[in-house]
Amino acid sequence: MRVFLMRHAEAVPGEPDAARPLTLRGRRQARHAGRGSFARAAAEVRHVEHSGLVRARQTAEHAMRSARIPRARLRTLAGLAPEDDPAVTARLLARSRSSRLLVGHNPHLAGLFGLLIGARGSEAVRFKKGALAAFERIGPPGRGAPFGRWRLLWFMPPAC
């Protein structure tokens, strides 16, 4: 099972925060992330989940289009907001049997990245807007590995 973590692409500034759409640059970032290594792996993605914020949904939609993932797989997932506890998401991934793309925000995603590689806190990676990481689960949850054992397959910084 694989999981792909993507931070939302660049969004316009302003309020309300939850309604900020992507900029032209952000749309390009999201489309670029949907190509390349992710596009080759996209056939196994069963769920594309995003936070309830507009910029995360739009990022997911653009990446999906580029990777040719069917739109029916898109849905909102609670627990991907910036200040949500990444351990909750890590527990969900530990139990999951299907590959998925999660599109969210920092500091949540950086913290989740850290938990999957066995680091504590959100300082394990600098997760820029539009970046995409691929992980593969190599072991189930157990003693000393409450979220399972994961291997980082690749990390793609934003295109622009």
Burial 26-44 (b: 16+ CB within 10 A, else e): bbbbbbbbbeeebeebbee
Q: What is the pLDDT, as a whole number, of residue 160?
A: 65
Residue 31 CA, chain-centre distance (Å), reads: 14
- Annotation: CATH topology of 2-156: Rossmann fold (3.40.50)
Q: What is the pLDDT, as a whole number, of residue 121?
A: 65
Question: What pTM, to 2 d.p., does this model score?
Answer: 0.94
| Range in 5-9, 21-25, 97-101, 124-128 the model is least confident about | 124-128
If one compares 144 and 74, the residue with the highest pLDDT of the two is 74
The residue ranges of every structural domain in the chain are 2-156
pLDDT in tens, 22-58: 999 999 999 998 887 788 888 899 999 999 999 999 9
